[in-house]
A and B are shown apart, each in its own frame.
Chain A
Amino acid sequence: MTGADTKKEVIFWGLLAGIFGLLPVVSHNDYHLIMANHIIVWGLFAVAFNMLFGITGMLSFGQALFYGIGGYGVGLMVKYLGKAWFLPGMAAGVLAAAVLAYLLGFLIIRVSGVFFTILTLAFGQLAWQVTFRWYHVTGGDDGIQGIIPPGILGNKVFYYYVCLACVLASVWYLRSLSNSPLGLILRCVRQNPARVRFLGRHVRRNQRRVYVISSVFAALAGGLMSGVDNSVHTNMFYWTTSGEVILMSVLGGIHQFFGPFIGAALIKIIEDVVGSRTEFWPLIIGLLMMTMVLAFPRGVVGEFQMLKARWQWRALERARRG
Chain B
Amino acid sequence: MSSRKAWGLLALALALVMALPLGVCAQDKVIKIGAMYPMTGRPGLYGLDSVAAAEMAVAEINAKGGVKGHKLVFINTDSQAKPDLAVQIAKRYISSENVHFIFGEVSSGAGLALTEVSSQYKKIFIGTDHASTQLTSDKLQPYYFRVSNNTFQSMAAGALYLKERQASKPWTTLAYIGPDYAYGHDQWNELKYNLDRFGVKYKVVGEYWPKLAAPDYTAFITAIMKDKPDILVGGLWGGDTVAFIKQALPYGLFQKMLYFSPDGGGNYELMSATGDELPVGLALSGRHHNNWPDTAANKKFVQDFFKKAGRYPSYAAEGAYSGIYAIAQAVEQVGNPADTEALVKAFEGMKIKLPEDPEGFTSYIDPLTHQIVQVQAIGETIANKDFPPATRMLGNWKVYKAEEIMPPVEYLKDHSSEYLKGRLPK
**Which residues from B are CB-within-8-Å of A230?**
87, 116-117, 120
A275 B112 Cβ-Cβ under 8 A: no
A133 — which chain B residues lie within 8 A by C-beta?
180-181
- Near B by CB (< 8 A), chain A positions 220-254 give 229-231, 233-236
Q: Is the CB of A231 within 8 A of B87?
A: yes
Cα-based distance from A313 to B134 in the complex (angstroms): 65
Residue from A32, A145, A229 in contact with B115 in the complex, judged by beta carbons closer than 8 Å: A145
Judge whether A140 and B185 touch: CB under 8 Å: yes
Residues of B within 8 A of A276 (CB): 77, 89, 92
A288's nearest neighbour on chain B, judged by CB, is: B15
Considering the complex, give the chain A residue whose CB is closest to the CB of B39: A279
Known contacts A229-B87, A235-B84; A30 and B95 CB within 8 A of each other: yes
Q: Which residues of B contact A294 (CB under 8 A)?
A: 4, 8
Q: Are A295 and B39 in contact (CB under 8 A)?
A: no
Q: A34-B95, A132-B181, A145-B139 are in contact. Are A278 and B83 (CB under 8 A)?
A: no
A29 touches B180 (CB 8 A): no
List residues of chain B with CB within 8 A of the CB of A145: 112-113, 115-116, 139
Chain A CB within 8 A of B82 CB:
yes
Is B94 interfacial (CB 8 A cutoff)?
Answer: yes
- Is B78's CB within 8 Å of the partner chain A? yes
Q: Give chain A residues whose Cβ lies under 8 Å from the Cβ of B14.
A: 287
- CB of A267, distance to nearest CB on chain B (Å): 13
Q: Give chain A's interface residue range (CB within 8 Å of chain B).
A: 35 or more
Contact check: which of A30, A234, A236, A277 meets B94 at CB < 8 Å?
Answer: A30
- Knowing A279-B40, A295-B7, say if A31 contacts B15 (CB, 8 Å): no
B112, A143: Cβ atoms closer than 8 Å: yes
B91: contacting residue among A31, A142, A288, CB under 8 A: A31
Bound-complex Cα distance A145 to B108 (A):
12
- Interface segment among B18-26, B151-159, B282-290, B307-315: the answer is B18-26
Q: Do residues B82 and A287 form an inter-chain contact, with CB atoms below 8 A?
A: no
Q: Name the B residues within 8 Å of A282 (CB-CB).
A: 40
Is B223 an interface residue when CB atoms closer than 8 A count as contact? no
Other-chain residue from A142, A236, A274, A275 in contact with B132 (beta carbon distance below 8 A): A142
Please report the C-alpha to C-alpha distance between residue A212 and residue B185 in the assembled complex, in whole angstroms. 36
Contact call A30/B91, Cβ cutoff below 8 A: yes
Check: B168 CB closer than 8 A to any chain A CB: no
Cβ–Cβ < 8 Å partners of B96 in chain A = 29, 31-32
| Known pairs A135-B185, A278-B22; A233 contacts B109 (CB<8 A) | yes
Check if A291 sits within 8 Å of B15, measured CB to CB. Answer: yes
B182 interfacial by beta-carbon distance below 8 Å: yes
Interface residue B172 (Cβ < 8 Å from any Cβ of A) = no
B213 interface residue per 8 A CB criterion? no
| Bitwise interface map of A from 135 to 159 toward B, beta carbon under 8 Å scored 1, else 0 | 1000111110110000000000000
A126 CA to B34 CA, complexed, in Å: 36
Measured CB to CB, the closest approach of chain A to B106, in angstroms, equals: 12
Q: Are B23 and A277 in contact, CB atoms less than 8 angstroms apart? A: yes
Question: B78 touching A279 by the CB < 8 A rule?
Answer: yes
Supposing A31-B95, A295-B7 touch, asked if A277 and B113 sit within 8 A by C-beta, the answer is no
Q: Chain A: residues with CB nearer than 8 A to chain B? A: 29-32, 34-35, 38, 132-133, 135, 139-143, 145-146, 229-231, 233-236, 270, 272-279, 281-282, 284, 287-288, 290-291, 294-296
Q: What are 12 A-B pairs with beta-carbon distances under 8 A?
A: A133-B181, A143-B109, A143-B113, A231-B112, A231-B113, A231-B116, A234-B109, A272-B92, A275-B89, A277-B21, A278-B18, A294-B4
Interface residues of B, Cβ cutoff 8 Å to A: 4-5, 7-9, 11-12, 14-15, 18-19, 21-23, 39-40, 77-78, 82-84, 87-89, 91-92, 94-96, 107-109, 112-113, 115-117, 120, 132, 134, 139, 180-183, 185
Besides the known contacts A143-B112, A291-B8, A291-B15, 11 further A-B residue pairs in the complex with CB atoms under 8 A apart: A32-B95, A231-B83, A231-B84, A231-B87, A233-B82, A234-B109, A277-B23, A278-B18, A278-B19, A291-B11, A294-B4
